[in-house]
Structure 1
Amino acid sequence: MILLVVLGLLLSVSYPAVDAFYSVWRADSAVSTVAAKRRDAVFLDSALRKAVEVLKRDDGAYDALSEFWAKPIVLETPVGELSVQIVDLDRYLNLNLVGRNPLVTAAFERLLLLLEVDYELLDRLLMWSGVRKPSGQPRTAFPVKGRPLDSVYELLYFWNETADLYGGNKGGITYPGLLELTTVHSDGKINLNTAPYWILRSLDDELDDALARQIIEERERSPFKSLQEVLRVPGVSADLLYRISKLVKFRSRYFKITLKLKRGEFQTVLEAVYDRATDKVLEKAIY
């Protein structure tokens, strides 16, 4: 039933609002790419409002990967194929809290160790984000920003090890990159129901491979709604739960919404970051 509601909301995107645009587009095959992008933007803006409405309707006590919003959706619409993907950002480590929040800093250090990334990256991050003043000549290709990051892609400005950022194979093991495990939008707490394997491993030294997989298996069976419920995972002790209690949560606040409209070879993408607590779209880009 919930899925039907979601589909209904997305399918109810304001076609009349873009009908005039697309009537012209169909009549004029020589329409420019710029004009087509503008028309798609009208449609995608309407679709974004519907996606936000879906998240606002989800008022449960927890967020998990089994929920309807976490499932990618592809819809055939009168104006093309629309794909919708929503990812909560509370599953990742916040780069702007490294050096400012001791728990996040410790987790990030563990993540670097797990991914076999040189700790020099941490030093450069602290300088770039303004936590630490540069000493001597910074080893970066760009002037040090000295302020919090606006995007995780700012890592590219001071770190050129591609495998560390985008992932790769080290010693026969495939590792993800930091760009897919970090964010600049979160309160610092990690949603235990949605956190990737490597983020789970970074929460505590005791959280080894076996325990991280146990947590993933248990949350797939039944998402966690409280700290007490995490104790049902074999191997999770009261001591471990106490240590991570101030670093984890079960409901997310920030979401990245990606909408793609495709007609043949032509595609327009809208990416937005939505803060459910304040009901505001913090970022939006169309390309």
Structure 2
Amino acid sequence: MRDIGTVKKMAWRTPDLQNEQGMALLITIMTVALLTAVTLQYHKTTWDKYLASRNYMAGTQLTAIADSGINIALAVLQNDAAASEIDTLNDSWAVLEKEPFRDFFPTGTLKIRIDDLSGRLPINNIVQRTGSSGGQGQVTQAASRENRNIFTRLLLSGAFPMVEDETMAKGIVDAIVDWIDEDDRESDYGAENSYYESLTKPYSCKNKQLDYIEELLLVRGVTPALLFGADKNVGLAEFLTVYATDGKINLNTAAPLLIKSLVEPPIDDNVIQELDEFRKAKENEEQLANVNWYKSISSWPGDITLNESMLIAKSTFFQVTSTGTLDTLSRRMVASVARVSPDEVNLLVRKME
């Protein structure tokens, strides 16, 4: 029979044993939790590195695809120049967007679009220019005035709802004139240094020709919505170019809205539609070599004559948009090119978007 002392010792030991078992369980749980956290973090880090590596590889492939598209476009433009003396909407470069290029790449797809910049209004030519400033030749006072009028009518065409009235249109035109011309005199509705340097983040008026269309965002009155479009409205940038082929516009490829703005009063929409259909018809292609082909349209008003000294049938400047796609990823490269001869097509500027 155990004595009372022994029983008391056993009674005191039992709680100690339970505490030790509880501590061991707690340590085990904490260890498992720590290992789980470390494992999850390692998995996340590994997965992130995998995704980064995969995206880098995909990005490299997409860049190569898009760059290939630019080179293909240059070759197409060169071949087209050798095959034809004029440029129309039926040319190989104009329909290149329909080409699928399925067999060119084992993975990924390519889409190429070429737009004729010579079929747009040369915005730098709204300012009179002597000599060969900027390499774009002379612009007479009469030509600069004509370009301003065309630009004003384009702004008031109704395609740009943010341009509410003629006063606002003149404000935009004059502000761009002041941005480009070399003096510091403000036009009637324009803006010079006194305006730009009073802004919260001041900067100087350029007083030089535009190098990029995007520069217009620095000009008073020109908003991103106006320049690039918003809410399904077209953007002004689609009708303008900083390049000029002797300050002339290719009537064969110009946008219908720009053609409508060439004269005052603007030409009726039905006539413009017939004109567009006429120049797209293959059987009329030979007539497009002469800039007065528009007179062949039956509905053309006999009392309206376009200023044919501002029109051309052969283009020099083009914009190439090359888009590479791989699974859900895509990369777009935009380039401006100059076709100076059938043997020479120069890349002027290229950017990734």
Structure 1 gap ranges (5+): 1-27
Structure 1 residues 220 and 42, CA, compared in 2 at 3 Å: closer, same or farther? closer
Residue aligning to 1:96: 124
CA displacement at 1:122 relative to structure 2: 1.0
Matched ranges for 1:43-192 at <5 A: 43-59=65-81, 60-71=84-95, 72=97, 73-76=99-102, 77-100=105-128, 101-102=143-144, 103-115=146-158, 117=163, 118=168, 119-135=170-186, 137-138=194-195, 142-158=203-219, 159-167=221-229, 176-187=234-245, 188-192=247-251
Residue in 1 that maps onto 2:350 = 284
Structure 1 position 127, deviation (Å): 1.6
Structure number with higher strand proportion: 1
Determine helix, strand or coil for the equivalent of 1:127.
helix
1:230 equivalent to 2:294? Answer: yes
Q: Helix, strand or coil: the match of 2:350?
A: strand
1:204 pairs with one of 260, 263, 267: 263
Cα distance, 1:132 vs structure 2: 4.6
Distance across 1 between alignment mates of 2:303 and 2:240: 27
Indicate conservation of the 8 Å contact 1:54/1:69, yes or no. yes
Mean CA deviation greater in 244-253 or 125-134: 125-134
Residue type of the alignment partner of 1:211: V
Indicate the SS of the match to 2:297.
coil
- Alignment match of 1:272 (pick from 335, 339, 342): 335
The one-letter amino acid of 1:121's match is I
Residue 7 of structure 1 corresponds to none
Q: CA, structure 1 residues 121+40, in 2 after alignment: closer, same or farther (shift >3 Å)? A: same
CA deviations 1:50-79 (Å, max 9, x no partner) are 221111111312222222321213333213
Match of 1:31 in 2: 53
After superposition, give the CA deviation of every residue in 1:231-269 in whole Å (9 maximum; x if it has no partner). 21124467644x421111122111111111111122122
- Superposed CA offset, 1:176-207 (max 9, x none): 33122111122221111111121001211154
SS in 1 for 2:73: helix
Equivalent-residue separation in structure 2 for 1:190 and 1:82 (angstroms): 30
Q: For residue 116 of structure 2, what is the amino acid of its counterpart?
A: D
Matched letter for residue 192 of structure 1: L
The amino acid that maps onto 2:291 is: L
Please say if residues 77 and 93 of structure 2, whose CA atoms lie closer than 8 Å, have aligned partners that are also in contact.
yes
Shift of the alpha carbon at 1:82? 0.8
Give 1:8's aligned residue: none
Is the alpha carbon distance of 1:92 and 1:228 closer, same or farther for their aligned partners in structure 2, counting shifts above 3 Å?
closer
Residues 201 and 207 in structure 1, CA contact (< 8 A), matched pair in contact too: yes
Q: CA deviation at 1:153?
A: 1.5
Worse-superposed segment, 125-134 or 159-168: 159-168
- 2:334 partner SS: strand
| 3-state DSSP of counterpart to 2:101 | strand
Cα distance change of structure 1 residues 32 and 142 upon mapping to structure 2, 3 Å threshold = farther
Which ranges in structure 2 are unaligned for 5 or more consecutive residues?
1-49, 129-142, 187-192
Q: How many residues align?
A: 255
CA contact (8 A) 1:192 1:250 kept: yes
Is the radius of gyration larger for structure 1 or structure 2? 2
Q: Does the 8 A contact of 1:82 with 1:259 survive in 2?
A: yes
Equivalent residue of 1:270, what SS?
strand
Secondary structure at the aligned position of 1:45 is classed as helix
Residues 40 and 175 (structure 1), Cα distance of their counterparts in 2 relative to 1, 3 Å cut: closer
Report the counterpart of residue 279 of structure 2 in structure 1.
219
CA separation of 1:165/1:44 partners in 2, compared to 1, >3 Å: closer, same or farther? closer
Q: Supply the distance in 1 between the matched residues of 2:303 and 2:94 (Cα, whole angstroms).
A: 31
Identity of aligned residues (%): 24
**Is the 8 Å Cα contact of residues 334 and 352 (structure 2) preserved in structure 1?**
yes
CA–CA separation in structure 1 for the residues paired with 2:63 and 2:148: 39
More helix per residue: 1 or 2?
2
- Report deviation, 1:35: 5.4
Judge conservation of contact 1:142–1:157 (CA < 8 Å) in 2: no
Q: Which amino acid is 1:198 matched to? A: L
1:90-131 deviation digits (Å, cap 9, x = unpaired): 111111111224232232122223246321111110121235
